[in-house]
Amino acid sequence: MSFFKRWKKERDFQRLYQEQNEFIRAALYWVGPYEIKDELVQDTFLKAWNSWDRFQGDSSMKTWLYRIAMNCAKDALRKKNFHESFDEEKGEGSTAVLPENADLENREEFLFLLNKLSFEHREVLVLTYYLGHTIKEIADLTKRPEGTIKSQLHYAKKFFEEEMKNNEEVAI
């Protein structure tokens, strides 16, 4: 690789990192295994750097990077089996953690319920309510049809509504 080509790659990658780091970190914070979120962010950008030349521009750089991040999160969940390691009594081992200042009466119960959702349903819920994306934006990011996103969001909301009816202590 020539000096100028490498310099451009480094400059472009640095710009991508600066523009998307917070978004990727937030998405992984809610969706991926919280215990290793810093590793997942690092893995995401390392994989993006290593596959930079293979990016074909079929989607936006944000979408491409987001897909890498979600694949890293899925791989980590599969490898470490985080779904099954949640300790109900302590609220430990969860795949997502709420900020300390979250307006929730029972954070452990919320996390437990969030972790009961499939990865895709949790992803749509988080992208909608915690990261503020529209259905269209989520469809673009996840490369799923808008109808699928709407259905997954409906299912996730319905799940929480039913669980809240069954357990009045859970507050969202």
pLDDT in tens, 10-50: 898 999 999 999 999 988 877 776 678 889 999 999 999 99
Phi, psi dihedrals of residue 27, rounded to the nearest 5°: -60, -45
pLDDT range class, residue 172, cuts 50, 70, 90: very low
**What is the 8-class DSSP label of residue 106?**
-
What pTM does this model have? 0.68
In a domain, 171, yes or no: no
Higher pLDDT, 77 or 20: 20
Give the pLDDT score at 107.
61
In a domain, 58, yes or no: yes
The total number of structural domains in the chain stands at: 1
Asked whether the CA dihedral 140, 110, 99, 34 is positive or negative, the reply is negative
DSSP letters along 111-149, please? HHHHHHS-HHHHHHHIIIIIS---HHHHHHHHT--HHHH
In a domain, 172, yes or no: no
What span, in angstroms and rounded, lies between the C-alpha atoms of 109 and 56?
Answer: 43
Which CATH number goes with the domain that contains 134?
Answer: 1.10.1740.10
Range of the domain at 82: 3-166
The alpha carbon of residue 34 and the mean position of all alpha carbons in its chain are separated, in whole angstroms, by 10
Side-chain-facing half-sphere of 112: CA atoms under 13 Å: 17
In a domain, 30, yes or no: yes
In a domain, 162, yes or no: yes
